[in-house]
């Protein structure tokens, strides 16, 4: 329970503001005045002793060290002795350094990750009430001091001295000629490309933990929603998390020909009130009040379907949530800004997300998104949807899922099938080897991969957490109710399983652990989508996949990309606005989010849906707590389509999944060219959609 019973946990917002002001007033520390002379002195000394074979690498390494050397690290004598003692003069020494760094960093990362998993256990899993101490544990970052320590003991400087810190342009242009080891060396140096104080890392962790908790507990008790006739449209006990479960319930109601549309309109109104913060604070995660989301009237619940005792003395008011949603987002922004001063090559979270995280330029991502959202194909598909639903389109039809057939099975029937099969997380875990076998994975590796994945009941909607050292378990979290997993939970679990399998393969079977993972999170989302789209097959239902159904699946992929593409544009513009207005209040941010959401809607959706000034795109919980993550979903849809098409050509999901995964964390376009021969982009999806529309005609 939150809001009216226990005050929600917030990170120290005032402290973040103070730290932000300190960071803004402190100019980036310049190199010590003496360091240029020391660099020139060492270069001459090394060339005279060893020749100039290593001079270019030496000068680059010393310059990289100089960028982060501070007075407390020592004077000229210390710097010069450090360089001469730690520069690898030959390839054999360099290889030894690299090998030891790779091995030790793997152990450090794995150990910190293991501690973090345990500290967040109560907050992440459905294990009962969260105590104040659990919040402190969840907000504590056991690795916050590691970077400080590695600079203080100069191990970070050893890496910077010997391995190149590369720019995005270098990785995109020169990376095609690099060996696997050169890519791993580049990733090693990137780990030390900024020197961030421990208090900044800790503040970021606290902001992330607070936003996670806020979102994880943002439930709506659906049986307590009333229409204007005082009727309850939803079953007892149905508690839905915003936005994931609300969206999925809305999708499920396309199959309800009686009151499905009325339920969808009610969910849509709930979403609007969450975004504009007119939602009464008392109704959030509270089964003891009834609420009409159309009139916004609130009353003490006339029924009790939660099994919880009513709160004695509870004051029932319709007072709105006081912009908590946007205060949380501001906290994430302010915490992110603390890092700006220590990231000269990427001085905003926007730059860090695109140039360093995705390694795809922001403007290139925006062009991809606009190319999809403004495609003339949108209106053609919208016309098909309008015909299929038999009415004018509503804004929530951005989530239309009728192209993805569940065959003869209704949502209720799917819930029954799933609950029987998976009454608890252990039953799902037991079935993972069968899933992998059905998907065509190497039979010799299936048991090994499956054993590395733990399945746990999530407090929130679900997520995947991969290990950070070899054979550290990957964790699959999904919602499992008292009566077992439902179809929504199974669908989410199948998505997360895709993440876990990729995480296991790229950690345990990769040639260099410094290359573990994939180029960016859009790629791991792509792999997760490949699993998720096959969920019915994994249930043993095997819906027909004839030419028509294949074409329908393509339309589903396109419509999903169109939907999340708009949300991605909203997310990007919100972060630009916050950087342009760093002193904004939560109320001002709320108004900005509404305006941005409406602007994007009016550009790319109003011409299709016939309604203007809709701000539904702002409902995504990721906007609030995921630090500009949403564009990864949109890019992931594009990549997923490319990946699926390649798997279709090869005739096997599992073997291609493994082959592609083992390319590891290299440049995105290079990875995709290795996977299917083309760079990342929407062209394959657009072309296939055109062909699918022809096939349907």
Same domain, 235 and 89: no
- Bridge partners, 291 (sequence order): 225, 298
- pLDDT tens-digit readout, 580-600: 999 999 999 999 999 999 999
User: To the nearest whole number, what is the mean pLDDT of the chain?
Assistant: 90
For residue 112, tell me if it sits in a domain.
Answer: yes
Same domain, 306 and 331: no
Which has more confidence, 552 or 23? 552
For residue 569, tell me if it sits in a domain.
Answer: yes
Lowest-pLDDT range, 306-320, 443-457, 501-515, 572-586?
Answer: 306-320
For residue 201, tell me if it sits in a domain.
Answer: no
The yes-or-no verdict on residue 196 having pLDDT over 50 is: yes
Round to the nearest angstrom and report the end-to-end CA distance of the chain: 52
CB atoms under 10 Å from CB of 408, counted, come to 8
Give the mean model confidence (pLDDT) for residues 684-688.
Answer: 93
For residue 159, tell me if it sits in a domain.
Answer: yes
Q: Report the C-alpha gap between 231 and 481 in whole angstroms.
A: 25
Same domain, 255 and 110: no
Q: Report the C-alpha gap between 134 and 121 in whole angstroms.
A: 9
Domain boundary among 261, 286, 321: 321
Q: Report the C-alpha gap between 680 and 672 in whole angstroms.
A: 6
The yes-or-no verdict on residue 539 having pLDDT over 50 is: yes
Domain housing 91: 13-193
Domain boundary among 489, 522, 538: 538
User: Model confidence at 6, in pLDDT bands (50, 70, 90)?
Assistant: very low
The yes-or-no verdict on residue 29 having pLDDT over 60 is: no
User: Model confidence at 19, in pLDDT bands (50, 70, 90)?
Assistant: very low
Considering 124-128, 136-140, 368-372, the range whose residues carry the highest mean pLDDT is: 368-372
For residue 199, tell me if it sits in a domain.
Answer: no
Give the mean model confidence (pLDDT) for residues 53-82.
Answer: 93
Phi, then psi, of 667 in degrees rounded to 5: -60, 140
- pLDDT tens-digit readout, 71-108: 999 999 999 999 999 999 999 999 999 999 999 999 99
Which has more confidence, 148 or 431? 431
CB atoms under 10 Å from CB of 657, counted, come to 23
Same domain, 398 and 501: no
Same domain, 235 and 374: no
Same domain, 237 and 114: no
Would you say 26 and 337 are in contact if contact means Cβ atoms under 8 Å apart?
no
Cα atoms in the Cβ-side hemisphere of radius 13 Å centred on 356? 20
- pLDDT tens-digit readout, 316-362: 999 999 999 999 999 999 999 999 988 878 899 999 999 998 999 99
User: Model confidence at 435, in pLDDT bands (50, 70, 90)?
Assistant: very high
Number of domains in the chain: 4
Does the predicted TM-score (pTM) go above 0.85?
no
For residue 200, tell me if it sits in a domain.
Answer: no
The yes-or-no verdict on residue 466 having pLDDT over 90 is: yes
Give the pLDDT of residue 603. 98
Structure-token match 């939907």, residue found: 563
Give the pLDDT of residue 54. 84
- pLDDT tens-digit readout, 258-277: 999 999 999 999 999 999 99
**CA geometry: angle at 276 spanning 571 and 206, to 5°?**
55
Same domain, 393 and 368: yes
Closest CA to 254 of 370, 406, 147: 406
The yes-or-no verdict on residue 640 having pLDDT over 90 is: no
Domain boundary among 538, 568, 584: 538
Same domain, 651 and 616: yes
Would you say 355 and 520 are in contact if contact means Cβ atoms under 8 Å apart?
no
Same domain, 552 and 613: yes
Closest CA to 664 of 654, 655, 674: 674
Same domain, 332 and 347: yes
Same domain, 336 and 475: no
Q: Report the C-alpha gap between 500 and 510 in whole angstroms.
A: 15
Q: What is the DSSP string of 387-418?
A: HHHTS---GGGGG--TTS--TT--HHHHHHHH
For residue 593, tell me if it sits in a domain.
Answer: yes
For residue 296, tell me if it sits in a domain.
Answer: yes
Same domain, 100 and 115: yes
């Amino acid at each position: 329970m939150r809001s009216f019973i226990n005050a929600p946990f917030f990170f120290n917002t005032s402290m973040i503001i103070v730290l932000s002001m300190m960071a803004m007033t402190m100019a980036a520390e310049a190199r010590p005045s003496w360091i240029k002379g020391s660099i020139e002195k060492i270069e001459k000394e090394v060339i005279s002793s060893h020749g100039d074979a290593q001079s270019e690498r030496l000068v680059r390494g010393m310059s990289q060290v100089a960028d982060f050397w501070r007075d407390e690290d020592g004077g000229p004598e210390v710097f010069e002795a450090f360089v001469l003692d730690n520069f690898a003069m030959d390839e054999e020494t360099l290889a030894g350094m690299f090998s030891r760094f790779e091995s030790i960093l793997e152990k450090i990362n794995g150990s910190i990750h293991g501690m973090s998993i345990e500290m967040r256990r109560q907050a992440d899993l459905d294990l009962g009430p969260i105590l104040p101490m659990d919040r402190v544990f969840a907000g504590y970052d056991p690795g916050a001091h590691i970077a400080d320590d590695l600079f203080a003991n100069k191990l970070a400087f050893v890496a910077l001295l010997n391995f190149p810190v590369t720019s995005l342009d270098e990785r995109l242009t020169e990376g095609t000629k690099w060996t696997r080891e050169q890519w791993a060396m580049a990733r090693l140096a990137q780990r030390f490309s900024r020197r961030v104080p421990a208090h900044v890392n800790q503040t970021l962790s606290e902001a992330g933990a607070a936003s996670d908790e806020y979102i994880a507990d943002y439930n709506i008790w659906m049986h307590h929603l009333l229409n204007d006739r005082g009727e309850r449209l939803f079953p007892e006990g149905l508690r839905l998390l915003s936005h994931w479960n609300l969206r999925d319930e809305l999708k499920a109601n396309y199959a309800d020909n009686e009151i499905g549309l009325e339920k969808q309109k009610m969910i849509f109104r709930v979403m609007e009130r969450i975004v504009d913060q007119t939602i009464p604070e008392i109704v959030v995660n509270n089964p003891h009040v009834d609420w009409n989301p159309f009139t916004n009237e609130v009353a003490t619940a006339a029924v009790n379907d939660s099994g919880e005792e009513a709160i004695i003395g509870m004051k029932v008011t319709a007072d709105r949530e006081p912009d908590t949603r946007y205060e949380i987002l501001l906290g994430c922004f302010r915490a992110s800004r603390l890092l700006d001063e220590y990231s000269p090559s990427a001085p905003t979270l926007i730059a860090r997300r695109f140039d360093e995280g995705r390694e795809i330029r922001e403007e290139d991502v925006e062009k991809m998104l606009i190319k999809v959202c403004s495609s003339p194909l949108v209106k053609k598909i919208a016309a098909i949807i309008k015909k299929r639903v038999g009415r004018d389109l509503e804004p929530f039809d951005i989530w239309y899922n009728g192209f993805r057939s569940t065959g003869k099975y209704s949502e209720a029937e799917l819930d029954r099938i799933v609950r029987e099969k998976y009454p608890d997380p252990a039953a799902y875990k037991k079935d993972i080897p069968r899933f992998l076998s059905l998907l065509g994975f190497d039979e010799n590796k299936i048991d090994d991969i499956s054993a590395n994945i733990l399945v746990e009941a999530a407090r929130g909607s679900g997520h995947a957490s991969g290990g950070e050292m070899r054979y550290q378990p990957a964790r699959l979290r999904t919602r499992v109710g008292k009566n077992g997993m439902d179809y929504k939970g199974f669908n989410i679990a199948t998505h997360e399983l895709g993440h876990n399998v990729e995480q296991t393969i790229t950690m345990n079977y990769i040639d260099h652990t410094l290359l573990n993972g994939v180029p960016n999170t859009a790629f791991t989302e792509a792999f997760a989508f490949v699993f998720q789209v096959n969920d019915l097959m994994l249930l043993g239902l095997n819906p027909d996949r004839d030419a028509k159904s294949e074409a329908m699946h393509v339309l589903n992929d396109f419509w999903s990309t169109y939907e999340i593409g708009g949300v991605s544009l909203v997310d990007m513009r919100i972060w630009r606005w916050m950087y342009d207005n760093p002193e904004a209040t939560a109320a001002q941010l709320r108004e900005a989010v509404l305006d941005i959401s409406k602007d994007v809607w009016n550009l790319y959706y109003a011409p299709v849906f016939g309604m203007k000034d809709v701000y539904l795109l702002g409902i995504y919980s990721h906007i609030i707590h995921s630090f500009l993550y949403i564009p990864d979903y949109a890019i992931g849809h594009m990549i997923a389509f490319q990946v699926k098409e390649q798997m279709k050509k090869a005739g096997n999901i599992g073997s291609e999944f493994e082959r592609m995964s083992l390319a590891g964390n290299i440049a995105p376009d290079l990875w995709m060219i290795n996977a299917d021969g083309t760079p990342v982009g929407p062209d394959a999806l657009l072309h296939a959609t055109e062909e699918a529309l022809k096939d349907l005609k």
